[in-house]
Amino acid sequence: MTSSTHSVANQVPPLVGHDVFGADAALREAVARYSTDAARARSTAAELGELGRTAGSARAQEWGRLANENPPVLHTHDRYGERVDEVEFHPAWHQLLEKGVAAGLTAAWPRPDGHLRRTAAFVVWSQVEAGHGCPLSMTHAAVPALRAEPELAAVWEPLLTSTVYEPGLRPAAGKAGVLAGMGMTEKQGGSDVRANTTEAVPLAEAGAYALRGHKWFCSAPMSDVFLVLARAPGGLTCFLLPRVLPDGSRNTFLIQRLKDKLGNRSNASAEVEFDGSTLAWRIGEEGRGVATIIEMVAATRLDCVAGSAAIMRQAVTQAVHHARYRSAFGGPLIDKPLMRNVLADLALESEAATALAMRLAAAQDRAAAGSAGERHLLRLAVPAAKYWVTKRCTPLTAEALECLGGNGYVEESGMPRLLRESPLNSIWEGAGNVQALDVLRALQREPQALNAFLNEVGQSSGADHRLDAAIKEVLTELSDLDGIEARARRLVERLALVLQGSLLVRHAPAEVADAFCASRLGGERGLAFGTLPNGLDLEAVVERALPG
Ligand SMILES: Cc1cc2nc3c(=O)[nH]c(=O)nc-3n(C[C@H](O)[C@H](O)[C@H](O)COP(=O)(O)OP(=O)(O)OC[C@H]3O[C@@H](n4cnc5c(N)ncnc54)[C@H](O)[C@@H]3O)c2cc1C
């Protein structure tokens, strides 16, 4: 194009119109690998391809932009001074949710290979916009916790797992689908929920309680129903708290403020209060609140891994796309040896994240089908993956942004939004230290979890000497538990890396596995991205990451 002062050249065309699923070799291969039935694998790939093409469309990308540039607005009162406690969202937020729910992002539980399919869809659809993944994730995750109370589950599970998005505060009985949120964190304690002070007083109706207290973070406050922790006479207990009561009246759910957040701007995260007239129904036994809600937390933690894998994939895709079309010093950036090193290093991190997320999704399906070994693997691998994959997301996104140069620092590129979103998965559902300590708890209390882990990584035994040596090092580290708490991050990092290495050695192309083991397990790498050693096939690694 020519303007009156200069012609515009060497600007990169927007990355649009591609198939986000079809172009992601690591994701595609994982779906094929873990599907338990060939015909189902084909239909799942076809569905994911359709979702992937929608995710890559200009229309869906515009929904993501609009939902973030027009953040939610809280209305505490109506014009007459009555409390309404409603949050108003831009129509693009509803379009994103409608598509996400229709794509089955809350419908994993009733289906065979349901977690595999859903996690892949989550990785695809989160690349359009990350904020609305929060209610999708919580709605999906509420199901296993709710099953502790079969009568409540019979009413709510079909609505939570519906593929119909029906916004608006109305009685659940008249709705075709509902969304769920979670209320654990209070002002005085988030990680340490034992510090919760919200009180639950039993009422005459069996299972019903009145709640008084607050929640300091309560995201997606326009959800139909919340799983909350409160202190009943028998101790910390899990409750189901609907926003609209069965008789159609509003439950008391006082939204005091919305948080002004670093990122995640499309999503509303509220401070809420319960005034003693707030009604809730017990899920599970009194005093078993943490044990009950942990089922929900385990599923949302896995979504943090998948969500971070999605951000990383999106960031890498933008970086390689830019480097392919942008020239400097006589040729495309992608052909410059140093840029290729950076891109390959980013691509390795992204592929390892995807491989791990998808292995855990397959484990969820296998555990749901009765495999104790897979259940034990999840116990250790979910917090380890939550720790490591979410922690790698921010430095990766920052480096990918830099690949776009100055354009990457400008909002129009979409990279600043990705970077702002990046740290969140590492914080919510338990920050890094909490995950590392949870891995220690699993190691100390559930020996089968370590056995399942060793069994998994042992499947690649003998395939790569660096991986074998790294597994031995982990075992040495575990044999001396003196001062283990202070060393927990180091240990968990190694556990996650050997698991990723083992998956790549078994399933990824040789050049990817080789580069990963050389740089992440063999120690031949600097601290920054782009410091891979010589002698690796970096061109092939970058080629594999290209978005079509
Ligand atoms: C955008 C957003 C949305 C959220 N939405 C929700 C929601 O919908 N529902 C909900 O219930 N919560 C929600 N949260 C809260 C979130 O889950 C908590 O912030 C998180 O679990 C950490 O708890 P905290 O903020 O109380 O930090 P703290 O518990 O005070 O932790 C602070 C730091 O100390 C570390 N730490 C804690 N214990 C130890 C220890 N024993 N040893 C070493 N280090 C330790 C942690 O790793 C962390 O780095 C949301 C948070 C954010 C940012």
What tens digit of pLDDT does each residue of 420-463 get?
A: 999 999 999 999 999 999 999 999 999 999 999 999 999 999 99
Q: Is the CB of 432 under 6 A from ligand 1?
A: yes
Å from CA of 269 to ligand 1 middle? 14
Please provide the average confidence, as pLDDT, over all residues in the chain.
97
Q: Is the CB of 219 under 6 A from ligand 1?
A: yes
The residue-averaged pLDDT of 177-195 equals 95
Q: Is the CB of 142 under 6 A from ligand 1?
A: no
CA 376 to chain centre: 21
Å from CA of 300 to ligand 1 middle? 14
DSSP letter for each residue of 294-361 = HHHHHHHHHHHHHHHHHHHHHHHHHHHHHHHH-EETTEEGGGSHHHHHHHHHHHHHHHHHHHHHHHHH
Å from CA of 404 to ligand 1 middle? 33
Q: Is the pLDDT of residue 233 over 60?
A: yes
Contact 465, 518 (CB under 8 A): no
The residue-averaged pLDDT of 10-38 equals 97
Q: Is the pLDDT of residue 107 over 70?
A: yes
Nearest atom in ligand 1 to the alpha carbon of residue 427 is: 20
Q: Which of 394, 360, 365, 314 is nearest to 123 (CA)?
A: 314
Q: Rounded to a whole number, what is the distance in angstroms from the first to the last CA of the chain? A: 26
Q: Is the pLDDT of residue 1 over 60?
A: no
Distance between CA atoms of residues 65 and 128, nearest Å:
9
Å from CA of 427 to ligand 1 middle? 6
Look at ligand 1, atom 44, and give the residue with the nearest C-alpha: 433
Q: Is 84 helix (H, G, I), strand (E, B) or coil?
A: strand
Distance between CA atoms of residues 249 and 166, nearest Å:
18
Residue 462 CB contacts under 8 Å (≥ 6 apart), including other chains: 468
- pLDDT at site 111: 83
Q: Is the CB of 193 under 6 A from ligand 1?
A: no
Q: Which of 246, 328, 261, 284 is nearest to 153 (CA)?
A: 284
Distance between CA atoms of residues 410 and 393, nearest Å:
20
Residues 264-323 have pLDDT tens digits of 999 999 999 999 999 999 999 999 999 999 999 999 999 999 999 999 999 999 999 999
Å from CA of 217 to ligand 1 middle? 9
Contact 189, 195 (CB under 8 A): yes
- pLDDT at site 109: 78
Position 501: which residue type? G
Structure tokens at 414: 């979409």
Contact 503, 385 (CB under 8 A): no
Contact 198, 271 (CB under 8 A): no
CA 416 to chain centre: 19
Look at ligand 1, atom 11, and give the residue with the nearest C-alpha: 184
CA–CA–CA angle 100, 103, 107 (5° rounding):
95
Å from CA of 214 to ligand 1 middle? 16
Å from CA of 84 to ligand 1 middle? 29
Q: Is the CB of 188 under 6 A from ligand 1?
A: no
- pLDDT at site 248: 96
Nearest atom in ligand 1 to the alpha carbon of residue 435 is: 47
For residue 216, report the phi and psi dihedrals to the nearest 5 degrees. -80, -30
Å from CA of 160 to ligand 1 middle? 26
Residues 509-533 have pLDDT tens digits of 999 999 999 999 997 789 999 999 9
Q: Is the CB of 181 under 6 A from ligand 1?
A: yes
- pLDDT at site 108: 87
Which of 137, 138, 191 most suits a substitution to test ligand 1, by most atoms within 8 Å of the C-beta? 191
Contact 228, 184 (CB under 8 A): yes
In the chain, % of residues over pLDDT 70: 99
DSSP letter for each residue of 139-155 = HHHHHHHHTTSHHHHHH
Å from CA of 296 to ligand 1 middle? 16
Q: Is 14 helix (H, G, I), strand (E, B) or coil?
A: coil
Structure tokens at 114: 């349901």
- pLDDT at site 523: 79
Q: Which of 360, 362, 408 is nearest to 388 (CA)?
A: 360
- pLDDT at site 400: 99
Nearest atom in ligand 1 to the alpha carbon of residue 215 is: 11
Q: Is the CB of 264 under 6 A from ligand 1?
A: yes
Look at ligand 1, atom 42, and give the residue with the nearest C-alpha: 433
Which of 197, 434, 484, 492 most suits a substitution to test ligand 1, by most atoms within 8 Å of the C-beta? 434
Structure tokens at 376: 């034990």
Structural domains for the chain:
40-287 (2.40.110.20), 291-545 (1.20.140.10)
Q: Is the pLDDT of residue 23 over 60?
A: yes
Å from CA of 186 to ligand 1 middle? 10
Residue 511 CA: distances (Å) to CA of 87, 398, 500, 507: 49, 25, 15, 11
Distance between CA atoms of residues 170 and 183, nearest Å:
20
Q: Is the CB of 65 under 6 A from ligand 1?
A: no
Nearest atom in ligand 1 to the alpha carbon of residue 219 is: 8
Å from CA of 383 to ligand 1 middle? 15
Q: Is the CB of 191 under 6 A from ligand 1?
A: yes
Q: Is the CB of 261 under 6 A from ligand 1?
A: yes
Residue 266 CB contacts under 8 Å (≥ 6 apart), including other chains: 64, 67, 68, 71, 72, 89, 90, 92, 93, 96, 129, 131, 132
The residue-averaged pLDDT of 194-208 equals 97
Q: Is the CB of 190 under 6 A from ligand 1?
A: yes
Å from CA of 191 to ligand 1 middle? 5
Alpha helices by DSSP H, listed for 104-226, are 114-125, 133-146, 150-160
The residue-averaged pLDDT of 332-356 equals 98
Residue 55 CB contacts under 8 Å (≥ 6 apart), including other chains: 20, 21, 124, 125, 127, 128
- pLDDT at site 2: 58
Q: Is the CB of 325 under 6 A from ligand 1?
A: no
Look at ligand 1, atom 1, and give the residue with the nearest C-alpha: 269
Look at ligand 1, atom 23, and give the residue with the nearest C-alpha: 190
- Predicted TM-score of the model (pTM): 0.98
Position 504: which residue type? L
Look at ligand 1, atom 24, and give the residue with the nearest C-alpha: 190
Neighbour tally for 361: CB within 10 Å: 28
Q: Is the pLDDT of residue 202 over 80?
A: yes
Å from CA of 436 to ligand 1 middle? 14
